[in-house]
Amino acid sequence: MYDNDNTVVKSFDLNYISEHLIQAQWAEFIELKKRIHQLATQLQRPISILDIGVGNARIPMHLCGVKEIWEQVTRYVGTDNAQACIDISNINIERYGIDDKTSVRLLEATELHSIGMQFDMVICTWFTPGNFYAEGFDFEGYKLLAQRLDLSHNPAFTNIMKQAYDLLLPGGCLVLGACYKDNKATCLKQEESYAKMGMHVITSPDDSFTATKEGFWSQRFTTEKLYSYLDFVPRKQFQFIDLDTYAYAMQVVVRKLSF
């Protein structure tokens, strides 16, 4: 999806990242540690984790620095569709000495079913859930179109998350987010973030996503939209956690019941 290595690298450089994004990153990490601890305590054993969109291996890099949490992880597998991310991740995995239980692989999220193993927890962090869009989206011509894209359904998102949910062991959970909340203030913050990275926005505030001509896409969500996209899961199995006090981002936890 994002095949510009320079832009991918910039997305990890704090000099190009807005303060809202940085704070959301840490807020979701704090909540993620809670989810890992809760699940490992509930299952009474260390857990396995699949990370969709592993990026630069940020999550395991920070988790391994917290001995009490890292000991609750038995296997950590990351996927990404950008070779630049896989390369950076492998460097960081070696640097932090966590290759005994951490690995990454180049894989499109639409091919999750090919992994061939199940996990206690599947995560998709730091706004990656909003990056899944329909194949063939016109990044060059969208700005000129009179008709805006209808995202009352997002088959690409649903397909990927259904595969992720199917990879969960009974009693496990799917953790999404940070996820952008859908409102005008968040839209403006997204546009400012992309501008800071030197990109050019092609969408308008009337869209429920922000995209750039450089090929970046990020959707905003409401709880009702997530219920609709993941209609294969009963609503009572969802949990929404605010990551701030200004309606910018949330973490979404979707539980898979034990039978």
Query: Any residues with CB less than 8 A from the CB of 36 and at least 6 apart, and which?
Result: 47, 49, 63, 69, 72, 73, 121
Give 228-246 pLDDT, tens digit per residue: 999 999 999 999 999 999 9
Give 114-132 pLDDT, tens digit per residue: 999 999 999 999 999 999 9
Question: Which range of residues forms the domain containing residue 203?
Answer: 5-255
Query: Any residues with CB less than 8 A from the CB of 90 and at least 6 apart, and which?
Result: 104
Tell me what the pLDDT averaged over the chain comes to.
Answer: 93
Structural domains of the chain, count: 1
**What is residue 14's predicted lDDT score, i.e. its pLDDT?**
67
Structure tokens at 220: 């905003």
Domain harbouring 221, CATH code: 3.40.50.150
Give 31-78 pLDDT, tens digit per residue: 999 999 999 999 999 999 999 999 999 999 999 999 999 999 999 999
**What is residue 243's predicted lDDT score, i.e. its pLDDT?**
98
